């Protein structure tokens, strides 16, 4: 729609005032002119009558004596003095005296309307064009009475043009006065219109500020009580709106903070299946941007068929529903628990749906690890226990009398007990490390990492010699890090011990310590059997073995690499493994420099 181009209030009020005033002045002027014309007409009639009656009084005797010359002379002298044409007639219509013309040459006037009425004893007047004078004239005739009998008629006349001239002069003055009054009224109307519209314009400007969200200003308007009351009402409205909007903003900010802080994903959908709200957790889960998806159709935002079906079911269900589902983001598997419920307005009617997502991937992974751990530890403990139990039963069944076999059996039992001891000791060590990691009980002091590496190499040098493997160390000078010497030496010893166990005789194991990209880096490289790529992600789990048979034959509890991972985490570092099957492996520990 186009912009509303309505006129300002001033230009709506002012022209109306001005038009009403002009119409009123025109009406008054017209009425005054008409009344003035009527007044002059009546005044002229009265003046002509007075003059005619005066002359009629003077001509009674001359008419009786038939002194026509005296009458004609009277008409001429009196007509000049009073600026009026005077005509004297006999009852038969004959003119016997006239101010302007020779009576003998004038036609009979018995048929003139005013003469007819005057001969009947009435005073009469009329206006018509005079062929004698060639102008519009006003006539008035009075009878001349003698003993109650009409003996003649005196007629007075004056030019209508003279009357009109006087009226025109007066009309011009009226028009001029009206124009002056109109101008004054126009200025006065403009002032009054401005006085009325200015407070309203101030109110309009403040209302526009309110519409833009600025509620700090307050109206200070003077004028009529209605305008002042309106301004006060707007001020109160602004204050209330400011309080309400502040409250709404506060509540919305609190809601946004709560939604942003939630680990669970939340998405609200209206009845048209458009996204109303979505929190960062849900946006990360759906791989979208929070700001870009609000207002979009849920089909544009959610590209998982299972989730779309769940949302559709939620909007069609009166009850809350719940469902577990497995989704894939690329090659990553995610376990999701979805809760859905219908959104209702204040009137109880459905306005959409609310869906909450719980990412159970880590929990399911931990449950899987727990089950694997229980199964693995049970299996690891069951093997030596089963062996011990079997040999003890054999000894109890009579093999105890055979000294040679008894000693062999006891040596086997001793090895199995030692294996149990190693497993239990590593479990306890791992438990202590994890508890210390959680409670941050381990103190780290600045020290030379190269010294710790050399000590770990010395601890394993004898084993390397026995296995016919060359153990070498390489470093580029002192490397200072925050460390716990005993724990870090244990981790390095575990890595070197593993490298030796899985290396063939005649090969070498290299342990290096260098600075790289602002980090201290320790590498343990062997040339053994290597590890297949599918096993690398789970290599640091408890009791996880790549080759169970060969691993047990090599000894160990299956907890060494798990212990290494937690010790490195205590030092705020990370551990990584790179391996090619059949070519060897390298374990890399990275620690922040002191």
**CB-CB contact of 156 with 55 (8 Å):** yes
Q: What is the 3-state secondary structure (H, E, C) of 391-437?
A: HHHHHHCCHHHCHHHHHHHHHHHHHHHHHHHHHHHHHHHHHHHHHHH
Known catalytic membership, residue 379: yes
Strand order in the sheet with 85-89: 95-98, 85-89, 149-159, 135-146, 124-130
* Rounded Cα gap, residues 257 and 246, in angstroms: 16
**CB-CB contact of 511 with 472 (8 Å):** yes
In the chain, what is the greatest distance between 2 CA atoms, to the nearest angstrom?
207
DSSP 267: E
Six token digits for residue 579: 């391996």
Six token digits for residue 548: 């169970």
DSSP 10-27: HHHHHHHHHHHHHHHHHH
C-alpha pair distances (Å), 410 with each of 20, 85, 381, 386, 402: 130, 176, 18, 14, 12
- Catalytic: which of 40, 217, 339, 379? 379
Question: For residue 587, is it left (φ>0), alpha (ψ between -120 and 50) or beta?
Answer: beta
CA angle 488, 491, 497 (to 5 degrees): 135
DSSP 555: -
Would you name the residues annotated as active-site residues? Answer: 379
């Amino acid at each position: 729609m186009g912009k509303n181009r309505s006129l300002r209030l001033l230009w709506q009020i002012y022209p109306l005032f001005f038009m009403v005033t002009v119409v009123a002045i025109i009406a008054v002027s017209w009425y005054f002119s008409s009344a003035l014309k009527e007044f002059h007409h009546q005044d002229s009639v009265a003046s002509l009558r007075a003059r005619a009656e005066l002359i009629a009084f003077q001509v009674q005797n001359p008419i009786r004596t038939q002194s026509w010359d005296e009458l004609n002379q009277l008409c001429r002298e009196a007509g000049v003095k009073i600026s009026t044409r005077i005509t004297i007639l006999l009852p038969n219509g004959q003119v016997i005296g006239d101010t302007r013309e020779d009576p003998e040459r004038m036609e009979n006037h018995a048929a003139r309307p005013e003469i007819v009425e005057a001969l009947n004893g009435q005073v009469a007047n009329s206006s018509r064009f005079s062929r004698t004078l060639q102008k519009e004239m006003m006539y008035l005739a009075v009878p001349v009475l003698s003993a109650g009998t009409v003996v003649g008629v005196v007629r007075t006349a004056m030019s209508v043009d003279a009357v009109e001239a006087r009226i025109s002069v007066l009309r011009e003055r009226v028009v001029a006065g009206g124009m002056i009054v109109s101008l004054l009224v126009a200025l006065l109307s403009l002032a009054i219109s401005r006085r009325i519209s200015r407070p309203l314009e101030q109110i309009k400007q403040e209302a526009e500020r309110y519409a833009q969200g600025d509620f700090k200003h307050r109206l200070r308007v003077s004028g009529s009580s209605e305008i002042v009351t309106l301004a006060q009402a707007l001020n109160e409205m602004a204050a209330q709106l400011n309080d309400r909007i502040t409250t709404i903003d506060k509540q919305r900010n609190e809601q946004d903070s709560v939604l942003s802080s939630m680990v669970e994903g939340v998405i609200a959908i209206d009845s048209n299946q458009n996204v109303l709200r979505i929190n960062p957790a849900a946006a990360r889960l759906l791989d979208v941007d929070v700001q870009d998806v609000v207002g979009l159709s849920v089909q544009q935002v959610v590209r998982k068929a299972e989730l779309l079906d769940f949302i559709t079911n939620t909007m069609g269900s009166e009850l809350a529903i719940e469902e577990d589902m497995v989704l894939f983001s690329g090659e990553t598997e995610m376990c999701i628990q979805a809760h859905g419920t219908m959104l209702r307005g204040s009137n109880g009617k459905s306005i959409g749906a609310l869906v909450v997502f719980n990412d159970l991937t880590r929990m399911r992974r931990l449950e899987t690890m727990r089950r694997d751990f229980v199964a693995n530890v049970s299996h690891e403990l069951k093997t030596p226990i089963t062996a011990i139990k079997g040999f003890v039963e054999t000894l109890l069944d009579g093999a105890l009398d055979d000294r040679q076999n008894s000693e062999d059996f006891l040596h086997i039992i001793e090895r199995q007990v030692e294996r149990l001891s190693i497993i239990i000791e590593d479990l306890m060590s791992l438990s202590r490390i994890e508890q210390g990691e959680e409670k941050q009980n381990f103190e780290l002091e600045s020290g030379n990492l190269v010294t710790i590496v050399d000590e770990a190499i010395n601890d394993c040098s004898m084993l390397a010699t026995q296995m016919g493997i060359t153990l070498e160390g390489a470093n580029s000078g002192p490397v200072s890090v925050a460390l716990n010497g005993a724990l870090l030496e244990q981790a390095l010893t575990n890595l070197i011990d593993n490298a030796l166990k899985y290396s063939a005789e005649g090969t070498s194991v290299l342990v290096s310590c260098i600075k790289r990209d602002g980090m201290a880096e320790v590498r343990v490289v062997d040339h053994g059997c290597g590890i297949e790529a599918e096993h690398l992600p789970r290599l640091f789990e408890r009791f996880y073995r790549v080759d169970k048979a060969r691993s047990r034959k090599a000894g160990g509890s299956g907890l060494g690499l798990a212990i290494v991972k937690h010790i490195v985490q205590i030092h705020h570092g990370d551990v990584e493994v790179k391996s090619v099957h059949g070519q060897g492996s390298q374990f890399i520990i990275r620690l922040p420099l002191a």
